[in-house]
Amino acid sequence: MAVVTISREEIARTAPMTDAEKRVILASSLGTVFDWYDFYLYGSLASIIGAQFFSQFPKATADIFALLAFAAGFVVRPFGALVFGRLGDLVGRKYTFLLTILIMGFSTFIVGFLPNYHAIGIAAPIILIGARLLQGLALGGEYGGAATYVAEHAPAGRRGFYTSWIQTTATLGLFLSLLVILFTRSIFGEPAFASFAWRIPFLVSVVLLGVSLWIRLKLNESPAFLRMKQNGAGSKTPLREAFGNWPNAKIALLALFGLTMGQGVVWYTGQFYALVFMQSILKVDGYTANLLIAWSLVLGTGFFVFFGWLSDKIGRKTVIMFGCLAAAATYFPIFQRITTYANPALAAALENVSVTVVANPANCGSLFNPIGTRSFTAPCDIARDVLAKSSVKYTRVDTAIEEPVKILIGSKEIAVPDASDVAADPKAVRAAFDMKLTAALQDAGYPDANDPGIVKMSNPLDIFRPQVAGIIGLLFVLVLYVTMVYGPIAAALVELFPTRIRYTSLSLPYHIGNGWFGGLLPATAFAMVAQTGDIYYGLWYPIIIAMACFVIGVLFVPETKDRDIYAQD
């Protein structure tokens, strides 16, 4: 009789999770959910918070505060990756992500109790911005620590599956924040929510912090880090070794341009830009848009774990690259179909109504407006900005001579106020122009914001009508792409770098790819829409970046699923 031998590695691949491994995953994931929940609260409630803390200032000052808050959300994250990544490689994974969760909890608690401008004056927005900066820094350090910690506890051959639970946390944090906000709004009503009840979701996070901290305190340091320390193989200068040494820096660049850059834009397109697109362009009310996204997340979240598991079988790169390619190939038809379902009258107007902006190109500037506070005064910019915000498809005809800017809607001509008129009375002139243009567009066939054909959900379970179900199905496909690129990414990044600089090395490309390439996507895409007059033109941003990532990834990024992460040390 033949004797069948089973290797230790094969046993590890097929054995069920131990209680200790489950505790590691639960502690890491729960803490990261908490961090993402806190981070998303500010973004979801930015307009209400702005009214509480910034509206009393002159416009220029308010814009500076809004820009700082925006920067903290995205630009600061890579700096947190550097600070806490270095700390994690020097003193350990466990203690570093304990520190990040405490900082996140402290800064969120401050926002929940912080008096507004009327109570304490300019100190209120300054403290708010400080808290927001701390949130960005803490989030920059949290993900790398959690991903590294789980991966270094995972048995060989199962790192994709184990770390995929961490990958669910950003989506779960978003979902939880939307759920708590919707629940609080429904209990207190909109006036009370805008006045004081907006603080409740921030205060609820204290409970999450307590549970997460209690579980994490029971954890031990990762075995890979302990082994490295026992062997005296740790790095004394992880930043210099990770990014000042070309062989290591090259891997970090490949991780950015061949993995996280594409993953970041696919993630933000499927979950954030889809929400912005429905609300800002398709004019779907906020309640309905959030519910539609929430349902797509409910249906799709489990696929993070599935694609993490699949990457253990067929490879990290294979799954991630296919996700980037599939997203880039299908974004246009998916978003066009969402328009047809969500706002059928708008879809018809886009096809049938001809709108033209006639202007000298020298007088047409950039419409990039990341924090939504720019006021346009040049007639060409005013015209394009209004049309873009009205979701109007337009073409531009350039004139060779200086002549007044005008908008042609079919054969009807609408004069655009010139700069001197706007300067004399900006609000009145702009309001009169907006009203005149809106009336002309509606006469031509564009729907108003209250058009009965626009999708509207009466309650969270109103999902079985064909219009609603169709949109949820399309959004689910977008989330499916997110799970493909995001489910295996933690394992792929961990396996690229040696233990002594792993926390530092993976955190920076991850947060640049997500915080910069991904985080700037909604503002950049909408600026592209306004600039060109095509509501789908902004999709070229994620498509080009995802395709560039696909090419770089296929050609240059190594497959890592079978690597021994201990052998790299």
Each residue's pLDDT tens digit, 308-321:
999 999 999 999 99
Q: List, for residues 393-434, the tens digit of each pLDDT value.
A: 998 888 866 788 888 998 888 888 877 766 667 777 778 888
At 339 the pLDDT is 96
213 Cβ contact list (under 8 Å, min separation 6): 31, 98, 101, 102, 105
- Tell whether the torsion through CA atoms of 198, 201, 206 and 209 is positive or negative: negative
Q: How far is CA 31 from the centre of its chain?
A: 19
| Residue 358 dihedral angles phi and psi, to the nearest 5° | -105, 115
pLDDT of residue 63: 62
- Mind listing the pLDDT tens digit for each residue in 364-403? 888 877 666 677 778 888 888 888 888 899 988 888 667 8
Q: Give the pLDDT of residue 12.
A: 47
Mean pLDDT in the chain?
Answer: 85
**Orientation of helix 489-496 relative to helix 246-255, angle to 10°:** 170
225 or 511, higher pLDDT: 511
Higher pLDDT, 181 or 259: 259
Check residue 6 and give its pLDDT.
38
- Most confident residue range from 68-82, 325-339, 346-360: 325-339
Predicted confidence at residue 142, as pLDDT, reads 80
**Predicted confidence (pLDDT) per residue in 496-549, tens digit:** 988 888 888 888 898 899 888 988 888 788 888 888 889 999 999 999 999 999
Alpha carbon separation from 498 to 20, 144, 251 (Å, rounded): 24, 14, 11
Which contiguous run of DSSP H or E holds residue 395?
strand 395-398
Residues facing 406 on adjacent strands = 358, 415
Give the pLDDT score at 466.
95
Report whether pLDDT(566) > 80.
no
Q: What's the mean pLDDT in 270-293?
A: 89
Residue 456's pLDDT is 95
What is residue 352's predicted lDDT score, i.e. its pLDDT?
A: 92
Domain with CATH 1.20.1250.20 in the chain: 19-342+458-556
Q: What are 441-492's pLDDT values in tens digits?
A: 999 999 988 899 999 998 889 999 999 999 999 999 999 999 999 999 999 9
**Share above pLDDT 90 across residues of the chain, in percent, rounded to a whole number:** 30
Question: Which residues make beta-bridge pairs with 396?
Answer: 357
In this structure, which topology does domain 19-342+458-556 adopt according to CATH? Growth Hormone; Chain: A; (1.20.1250)
8 has a pLDDT exceeding 60: no
pTM, entire model? 0.87
What integer pLDDT is reported at residue 523 of this predicted model? Answer: 79
